[in-house]
């Protein structure tokens, strides 16, 4: 018995070293990296691309410099610094635009091209682990992207010579640009594994990158506006903005890199370099997309990559919520009463449920796919929430909502220093959980009806969009979002009136959603029995 206990303790103690060894084997001695880099640099198109890239940046530098020289004489000593910072921003934003356009194309055909040449199965039969293959292809593409960034450094040093930036700012900006495009390359690799042809994979990669950058651009825009305010403050124009970064996750957006630079952010009273947070989150997102890609490879169906994906999703959600402490600790977050705090918590809970809702189509559906039988083992088994089976879908969805919304609400209530009104808040959390349960029931209904995973996911997404978004332009009262719409009536009524209206509407709509969920569940159960 003692020997078993010692063996267990020894295994736990050695686990960090095993993780480090596995991490090193992804890079050191990985033959995929050397092969991909040799193939990429073997043809002349790689050198033509580098030449066109440098000529474009040289043209941008020349035009920006001529623009500074041709401007009117200085009217204020601080105007020179403003012009130099404008020159720096022009060069760096041009660089970011080119890199963002190139990055998805580097890995969008990495797996699909192997499939088109019918060499993917041969590659998977090698002694290499799936993660070694994927990491090799990703790192080879990232190395070429890093080469492009290094080639642009002599041009970027003009900003240092002219006084538009410091060496630390430039190095931090380059680190942010590189790592903010790393997870975009990983997403493109995932698209390559999901599609059979390189053309379709490239299309979905660029579409997905556009959606992700567009959905998170508001954080970058906040930092861009704050940087402009800090730049014009010496001229006596505008309002002075805080020196710290308000949204640290903006470091994941490539277009925020030129304004974040080496700026710090304050989390729980500790000043942290924002570029360090961006690098850490980029690595975590890259690991997430690599795991998702590995789950798509035909040689690893027996591995529980779905469980790893779900654990990583929970970790990323909690860490992302904790970074919001930088925004909640701002002076504007103070001076709220209990009703105001409750409304803010309700709105954030609604946003969390809206974020989780699209993933229901992937988590809750099941069916035949690539020769794999449907994994329908029941309805609700909490112990299976990290398993790729149907019974673990709803426990994971509710756990995801509870962990994310609970962490966010606890952080906000602690920062605001005011206890919320618990009755409306519990009604809102229950309403969101009921809505996600209804979406899960719809996904299960289509899975049982169609028995095909791809079609079930498509129809689930279409159903969710039709139920939630289509009624909004015509009559907002017909959408499940209407109770949260009533909260916005604070502009015309006191906060307590808006909360009472929310509770009333959520009770009525929740009853209807509960009845529909039960009916859809009964229909899915009857169809499932008939199919069996």
Average pLDDT, the chain: 79
Q: Say what the pLDDT of residue 285 is.
A: 92
Is pLDDT at 14 greater than 60 in this prediction? no
Q: Is 238 left (phi over 0), alpha (psi -120 to 50) or beta?
A: left
Pairwise CA distance, residues 522 & 437, whole Å: 14
Is pLDDT at 475 greater than 80 in this prediction? no
Which tokens in the block code for residue 318?
């909690």
Mean pLDDT value of segment 11-17? 54
Pairwise CA distance, residues 447 & 472, whole Å: 27
Q: Say what the pLDDT of residue 251 is.
A: 86
Mean pLDDT value of segment 350-360? 86
Is pLDDT at 206 greater than 80 in this prediction? yes
pLDDT per position as a tens digit, 388-410: 777 888 899 999 999 998 888 88
- Bigger pLDDT: 46 vs 15: 46
- Bigger pLDDT: 240 vs 427: 427
Q: Say what the pLDDT of residue 187 is.
A: 92
Q: Say what the pLDDT of residue 56 is.
A: 84
pLDDT per position as a tens digit, 437-459: 989 998 888 888 887 878 888 88
Domain boundaries, the chain: 334-532
Q: Show Cβ contacts of residue 78 under 8 Å, excluding neighbours closer than 6 positions.
A: 234, 235
Mean pLDDT value of segment 346-353? 84
- Bigger pLDDT: 144 vs 25: 144
- Tell me the C-alpha to C-alpha distance, in Å, between residue 140 and each of 99, 369, 434, 438: 16, 31, 45, 44
The residue among 25, 200, 207 whose CA lies nearest residue 115 is: 200
Among 151-165, 303-317, 462-476, the range scoring the smallest mean pLDDT is: 462-476
Pairwise CA distance, residues 256 & 281, whole Å: 15
Tell me which H or E stretch contains 265: strand 264-267
Mean pLDDT value of segment 37-57? 81
Is pLDDT at 70 greater than 70 in this prediction? no
Is pLDDT at 180 greater than 70 in this prediction? yes
Q: Say what the pLDDT of residue 301 is.
A: 45
Strands (E), 123-269: 264-267
Mean pLDDT value of segment 54-74? 72
Tell me which H or E stretch contains 327: helix 325-328
Mean pLDDT value of segment 333-358? 79
Task: Identify whether the C-beta of residue 406 lies closer than 8 Å to the C-beta of residue 426.
Answer: no
Q: Say what the pLDDT of residue 363 is.
A: 85
Phi, psi of 266 (to 5 degrees): -115, 115
The owner of tokens 């200085």 is: 74
Tell me which H or E stretch contains 273: strand 270-273
Is pLDDT at 241 greater than 70 in this prediction? no
Q: Give the predicted TM-score (pTM) of the model.
A: 0.84
Q: Show Cβ contacts of residue 368 under 8 Å, excluding neighbours closer than 6 positions.
A: 374, 451, 452, 453
pLDDT per position as a tens digit, 91-141: 888 888 888 888 888 888 888 888 888 887 777 777 777 788 888 888 888
- Tell me the C-alpha to C-alpha distance, in Å, between residue 198 and each of 106, 116, 208, 421: 11, 8, 15, 53
Mean pLDDT value of segment 43-51? 80
Mean pLDDT value of segment 422-444? 88
- Bigger pLDDT: 492 vs 366: 366
Percent of the chain surpassing pLDDT 70 = 78
Mean pLDDT value of segment 313-325? 89
pLDDT per position as a tens digit, 217-240: 888 888 777 776 766 655 555 555
Tell me which H or E stretch contains 279: helix 274-296
Phi, psi of 272 (to 5 degrees): -130, 135
- Tell me the C-alpha to C-alpha distance, in Å, between residue 395 and each of 183, 269, 321, 433, 460: 28, 35, 21, 11, 19
For residue 247, give the 3-state DSSP assignment. coil
Among 262-266, 297-301, 436-440, the range scoring the smallest mean pLDDT is: 297-301
Is pLDDT at 326 greater than 60 in this prediction? yes
Q: Say what the pLDDT of residue 466 is.
A: 81
Which tokens in the block code for residue 263?
């700026």
Pairwise CA distance, residues 527 & 530, whole Å: 5
Percent of the chain surpassing pLDDT 90 = 5
Q: Say what the pLDDT of residue 476 is.
A: 57
Q: Residue 485: which pLDDT band, with cuts at 50, 70 and 90?
A: low
The residue among 426, 449, 441, 456 whose CA lies nearest residue 515 is: 441
Is pLDDT at 342 greater than 70 in this prediction? yes
Mean pLDDT value of segment 406-433? 84
């Amino acid at each position: 018995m003692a020997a078993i206990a010692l063996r267990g303790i020894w295994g736990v103690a050695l686990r960090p070293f095993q993780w480090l060894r596995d991490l090193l084997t992804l890079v050191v001695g990985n033959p995929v990296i050397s092969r991909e880099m040799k193939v990429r640099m073997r043809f002349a198109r790689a050198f033509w691309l580098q030449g066109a890239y440098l000529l474009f940046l040289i043209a941008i530098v020349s035009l920006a410099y001529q623009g500074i020289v041709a401007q009117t004489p200085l009217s204020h000593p601080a105007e020179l610094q403003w012009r130099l910072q404008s020159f720096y921003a022009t060069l760096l934003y041009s660089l970011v635009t080119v890199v963002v356009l190139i990055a998805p194309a580097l890995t969008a055909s990495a797996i699909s091209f192997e499939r088109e040449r019918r060499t993917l199965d041969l590659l998977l039969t090698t002694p290499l682990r799936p993660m070694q293959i994927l990491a090799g292809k990703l790192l080879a593409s990232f190395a070429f992207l890093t080469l492009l960034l290094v080639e642009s450094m002599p041009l970027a040093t003009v900003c240092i010579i002219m006084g538009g930036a410091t060496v630390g700012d430039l190095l931090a900006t380059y680190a942010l640009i590189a790592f903010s495009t790393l997870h975009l390359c990983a997403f493109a690799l995932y698209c390559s594994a999901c599609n059979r042809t390189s053309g379709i994979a490239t299309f979905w990669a660029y579409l997905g990158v556009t959606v992700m950058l567009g959905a998170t651009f508001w954080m970058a825009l906040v930092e861009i506006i704050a940087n402009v305010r800090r730049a014009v403050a010496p001229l006596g124009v505008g309002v002075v903005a805080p020196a710290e970064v308000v949204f640290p996750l903006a470091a994941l957006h490539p277009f925020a890199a030129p304004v974040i630079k080496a700026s710090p952010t304050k989390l729980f009273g500790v000043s942290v370099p924002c570029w360090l947070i961006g690098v850490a989150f980029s690595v975590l997102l890259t690991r997430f997309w690599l795991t998702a890609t590995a789950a798509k490879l035909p040689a690893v169906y027996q591995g529980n990559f779905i469980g790893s994906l779900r654990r990583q999703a929970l970790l990323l959600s909690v860490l992302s919520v904790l970074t919001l402490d930088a925004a909640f600790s701002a002076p504007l977050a103070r001076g709220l009463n209990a009703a105001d705090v409750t409304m803010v918590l309700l709105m954030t809970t609604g946003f969390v449920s809206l974020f989780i809702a699209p993933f229901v189509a992937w988590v809750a559906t099941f069916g035949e796919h690539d020769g794999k039988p449907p994994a329908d083992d029941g309805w609700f088994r909490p112990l299976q929430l990290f398993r790729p089976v149907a019974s673990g879908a709803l426990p994971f969805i509710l756990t995801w909502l509870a962990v994310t919304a609970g962490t966010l609400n606890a952080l906000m209530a602690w920062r605001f220093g005011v206890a919320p009104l618990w009755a409306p808040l519990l009604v809102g959390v229950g309403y969101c959980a009921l809505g996600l349960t209804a979406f899960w029931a719809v996904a299960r209904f289509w899975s049982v009806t169609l028995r095909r995973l791809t079609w079930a996911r498509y129809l689930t997404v279409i159903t969710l969009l039709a139920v939630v978004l289509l009624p909004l332009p015509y009559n907002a009262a017909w959408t499940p979002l209407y109770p949260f719409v009533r909260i916005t009536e604070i502009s015309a009524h006191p906060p307590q009136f808006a909360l009472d209206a929310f509770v009333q509407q959520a009770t009525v709509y929740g009853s209807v959603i509960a009845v529909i969920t039960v009916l859809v569940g009964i229909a899915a159960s009857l169809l499932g029995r008939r199919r069996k």
